[in-house]
Structure 1
Amino acid sequence: MLQCLVAGGIAGTAVDTALFPLDTIKTRLQSQVGFRAAGGFSGVYSGLLSAVIGSAPSAAAFFVAYEYLKRSVGAGVSDSYAPLVHMISACVVRVPTEVIKQRMQTKQYSSTYRAIRSIASSDGILGFYRGYHSTVVREIPFTCIQFSLYEYLKKWYACHKGRPTQPWEAAVCGSITGGIAAAATTPLDVIKTRIMLSSRVGLSSGIISTFRKILHEEGWRALYSGIGPRVIWISLGGAVFLGMYEKAKKTLIDYRIAA
């Protein structure tokens, strides 16, 4: 499990750092104030520190639990459990860092420290879990689609080639499945972003009401705001994340065997 912990942390940090500008552009396109008012193309690394702080432990926790389920109850069963695993890591680490990150990306705060101080003083601990439910609702279909397809593609390719998949092949599988999952869940991501960027406190904060408001005031096209950067970001991210995870895990296992 140590290999999974380290490999997951390395992969998560690498993705969030390398592809952060695309995430920022996506978030600004989805914000209610509009792309230009949210910052446009300037300061695309705003909020990076918060993302890095949250990415390593969140990704590490996910993969440790995911690998444990695969070994305990079988890969087929673990695929259906994957969303629950991801929700655990999202609940503990990801949502608070995501709230800070997205508000900094849209120029609401100038530093991580000011963001933490402002949210804590005005909203308390609940302020850091703004958008918790909408994050969970997004992650259920996203992770079901991505990891079910990912495991299927890896198995199919391994059977086709008659050997285990290599890290670069796993990266291609991750890219394809990540792009599909990203496109399919963009409306849920838009809703989650709107809730996290708003000022009202609450864990649920009206997923349905937010959906209706967007549909009524901006039309259905607004639900697909940022789909281009999101698909590119997660396609590339899926390749880097899953490819680096498989590579890092293999390297650590080989090192342990050699030692």
Structure 2
Amino acid sequence: MPSEEGSVVRWLVCGASAGLAVDIGLYPLDTIKSRMQSKQGFIAAGGFKDIYRGMSSVLVGSAPGAAIFFLTYKYINGQMKRSIEGKDALVDAFSASLAEIAACAVRVPTELCKQRGQVNKNTRLTLICKEIMESKGLKGFYQGYGSTVAREIPFSIIQFPIWEGLKRMVADKKESGRCSPLEGAACGSVAGCIAAGLTTPLDVAKTRIMLTKTGPTLGILSTLKEVMILTPLPSNPLLFQVYTSGGIKGLYSGVVPRVMWISGGGFVFFGAYETAMHFTKFLD
């Protein structure tokens, strides 16, 4: 599947490098965000203590998830742009959506274990995995898969067309016709900031679903209802139940650290990807 923009091995290496760089470098902000969105509240979930808690799962799954994402994204994007002209933003959005679905097969179990570790004192990855297996079996590792995809697809539909569009704008103004890694990183930061702010309610729902240990797991609409309804009902699904305890403010719990994390993360992630692409030309 090689193309003028890279090869399979190159995409995998660069994607893995980007995933590790952002997840390790900005993990503390992600922990703070998860604790702010947890049902027990920020302080009860750990506050500012042990902000690297739960990181072992990230080290296991970050690189494969990002590698799968970029392999899928670049291949589909390249194939579609050969046959569809003048629809770059649409192609970027569609490619990113399919890439998210593929990457979530690895990302969801990793994210689940990570967030359990971030808000609970039981931080050993083996114990977290054992607890999930005993309570819900293998399917328990994919608790929140639907809500994660429902969050990631809108996020990527916003982020990647903006990132690619900004890069094209910058490249058009340069004699070389290409963005530098630093410019690509800056474009990624802006794109991530916008996408993060707009999709925070979906992230709140995803976090609540993943942190549910016992009982039936609510869907994303139910979770939103739990967050949003002033008078909770037994049949409330999850997004509507967060308004129950916090109104509109509840839907945007953790928006500041999320925007900071993804804005900074966009800079690191896309910067690492662009830098890796620059130094791995020999892999083509």
Letter aligned with residue 235 of structure 1: S
Q: 1:242 — aligned with what?
A: 270
Q: 1:133 — aligned with what?
A: 146
Whether 2:50 is the aligned partner of 1:37: answer no
Q: Give the secondary structure class of the aligned counterpart of 1:199.
A: coil
Contact residue 72 and residue 98 of structure 2 kept, 8 A: no
Contact residue 130 and residue 201 of structure 1 kept, 8 A: no
Q: 1:233 aligns with which of 261, 271, 278?
A: 261
Separation of aligned partners in 1, 2:213 and 2:227: 17
Contact residue 145 and residue 181 of structure 1 kept, 8 A: yes
Question: Normalization by structure 2: what TM-score?
Answer: 0.86
Whether 2:54 is the aligned partner of 1:54: answer no
Cα deviation, 1:43-82, whole Å, max 9, x if unaligned, reads: 1001111012111000001111111122211182243221
Contact residue 123 and residue 201 of structure 1 kept, 8 A: no
Q: 1:168 aligns with which of 182, 185, 195?
A: 182
User: Would you tell me which structure has more helix in proportion to its own residues?
Assistant: 1
Separation of aligned partners in 2, 1:21 and 1:211: 26
Separation of aligned partners in 2, 1:32 and 1:43: 19
Cα deviation, 1:193-226, whole Å, max 9, x if unaligned, reads: 0010012466x73211111111122211011011
Contact residue 46 and residue 119 of structure 2 kept, 8 A: yes
For the aligned residue pairs, the C-alpha RMSD in angstroms reads 1.5
Separation of aligned partners in 2, 1:86 and 1:109: 29
4+ residue runs over 3 A deviation: none
Any unmatched runs of 5+ in structure 2?
1-7, 82-86, 230-243
Please give the residue correspondences for 1:1-259 in structure 2 after superposition, counting only pairs within 5 Å: 1-74=8-81, 76=88, 77-90=91-104, 92-107=105-120, 109-162=122-175, 163-200=177-214, 205-216=218-229, 217-218=244-245, 219-253=247-281, 255-256=282-283
Separation of aligned partners in 1, 2:157 and 2:223: 24
| Bigger relative contact order (CA 8 A; separation at least 6) | 1
Number of residue pairs the alignment of both structures matches: 254
Identity across matched positions, percent? 47
Any unmatched runs of 5+ in structure 1?
none
Separation of aligned partners in 1, 2:25 and 2:114: 15
Separation of aligned partners in 2, 1:56 and 1:21: 18
